[in-house]
Amino acid sequence: MTLVTLFRIRQAAELLGVSDDTLRRWADTGRLPTTTDRSGRLAIEGTALAGFVTDLAASAPRDRRTNIVQESARNRFAGLVTRVVRDTVMAQVEIQAGSFRVVSLMSREAADDLGLQPGVLAVASVKSTNVVIEIPEL
């Protein structure tokens, strides 16, 4: 079972935190490869978007806030799986959520059950030192 999807321009723009117009400009200039979905609309393959968002985040300036006044106890980061490293027992899953890279260590069985691979849309729920990966309904 593969969960890698095609993302329409609006969906991809929301994931990247940019406007639809910005994403279309990136596509028009060849910075982001596109395809068409079954209905003939412009779309971006999840694997291409995962690579793009990884490169984009690597070139982004780091958030250097030092005056944090308030923070929630639980945080949810929607993003794209960019890397999955599996061994016989464990898996390391990386998600790029905007400029944030979230890494989760989980059992290989859990990663396999979720169908995690680069290009899959996922949500990292963070509380304390635990990161739980969820697959949202599209």
- List the chain domain ranges: 75-134
Are the CB atoms for 23 and 16 separated by under 8 Å? yes
**CA atoms 3, 28, 24, 95: torsion sign:** positive
Q: 22: alpha, beta or left, given left = phi > 0 and alpha = psi -120 to 50?
A: alpha
Rounded distance between C-alpha atoms, residue 97 and residue 77, angstroms:
6
Write out pLDDT tens, residues 37-83: 888 999 999 999 989 988 877 776 655 544 544 445 467 788 899 99
Write out pLDDT tens, residues 76-134: 788 899 999 999 999 999 999 888 899 999 999 999 999 999 999 998 888 766 677 88
Instruction: Based on DSSP, count helices (H) and strands (E) in the chain, helices before strands.
Output: 4, 8
pTM of the model: 0.60
Number of neighbours of residue 22 by Cβ within 10 angstroms: 12
**More reliable by pLDDT, 67 or 7:** 7
Are the CB atoms for 100 and 118 separated by under 8 Å? no
3-state secondary structure of 32: coil
Q: Domain 75-134 adopts which CATH fold?
A: OB fold (Dihydrolipoamide Acetyltransferase, E2P) (2.40.50)
How would residue 15 be classed by pLDDT, with cut points 50, 70 and 90? confident
